[in-house]
Amino acid sequence: MSEEQSVATETVSEETTQEASTDSTNEGALIAESKKYRKRSQDAEARLAKLESQLAKAEEAKLKEQGEFQTLYEEAEAKMETLESNADKWSKYETAKREALLNSVPEGERESLADLPFETLEYVTNKINNMKPNAPEVVGNPREASKPLGNWAEMDAEERRQNWGEIVKGFNKS
């Protein structure tokens, strides 16, 4: 009987260690497989983009051979119109943003910042607007209103309670 129990426990313990090691190798294998598929899909996408551009060039060359310059002209004009509309939108945005940025700057600095490129102007105005002013000093208020406490062990309970913050600060400093 005891031999059967020891054989059974050995079998159970061997199975659990094999499962644990199999799980970790399965995860590694799954990750490697996932990376392989991702690389393959990226390669396929790159190859597809390259083939599409080659196909467009071949079609353009074919139209040139056939003498259909009218079709080529229409395609180029349509593309140019979309690019012009995008350029107009961008220039309107840039001028509006430039005016807003210059209006957020103090008047004395506007003239000197007006000639900067757009990206530099944006950076400089963000720096200027994000600066935190120093707190003004009030006349008559000392910066540090602390008196020497003396020996805190000699204080009574009420004095210690009133000066507890200062006592803790004294320990934090040392």
Q: What is the pLDDT of residues 41-92, one digit of tens each?
A: 999 999 999 999 999 888 888 877 777 778 888 888 999 999 999 999 999 9
Check whether 107 has a pLDDT greater than 80.
yes
Tokens of 143: 């910066």
Confidence class for position 112, pLDDT limits 50, 70, 90: confident
Claim: this prediction has a pTM higher than 0.95: no
Q: Produce one character per residue of 44-53: b if its CB has 16 or more CB atoms within 10 Å, e if not.
A: eeeeeeeeee
- Cβ(151)–Cβ(169) below 8 Å: no
